[in-house]
Structure 1
Amino acid sequence: MNTLTISKIEIAAMTDKDVEDLATRLEQDNYSNAFEGLNDWHLLRAIAFQRPDMVESYIYLLDLEAYDEA
């Protein structure tokens, strides 16, 4: 699955198991190159925005922080 072209329809079709597998890959961080990990991270981030309920257990992998730009 090419995460750069993933659509809302594809994310809507993802199962809890798909997200669990994605999170496991990110936790293991055993990629053959940095781009594979970055692609998975972007996919998890896209899921977080479109289906936040599915990533509640894995939100720590995104390392999202609130920034005070005021």
Structure 2
Amino acid sequence: MGPASITHEQLEAFDEVGIAELARRLEEDDYPTAFAGLGDWHLLRALAIHRPELARPYVHLVDQEPFDEE
């Protein structure tokens, strides 16, 4: 699921249980490919923007820490 396919209705349908499950998947990072979790990350990011009160406990999963590639 890319960012363009996330609808307002999907975001409004989320509740504490749904976002906790989304966060669990992201924390476990047990996706079949390196890019499979990207859809969940985009969804959590959209929730953090549009429903910050719901995403607040999981914002650490959206934040990107700086790193040195060398």
**Normalized against structure 2, the TM-score is what?**
0.81
Q: Which runs of 4+ in 1 moved over 3 A?
A: none
Aligned length: 64
> Kindly, what percent of the aligned residue pairs are identical?
42
Unpaired stretches in structure 2, ≥5 consecutive residues: 66-70
Where does the alignment leave 5 or more consecutive residues of structure 1 unmatched? 66-70
User: For residues 1-70 of structure 1, what are the structure 2 equivalents within 5 Å?
Assistant: 2-4=1-3, 5-64=5-64
Note the C-alpha offset of 1:64. Answer: 4.9
The structure with the largest helix share of the pair is 1
Deviation readout 1:23-70 (Å, 9 max, x if unpaired): 0000000100122211110000000111000111100011157xxxxx
For the aligned residues, what is the CA RMSD?
1.5
- Give distance in 2, aligned partners of 1:64 and 1:52: 17
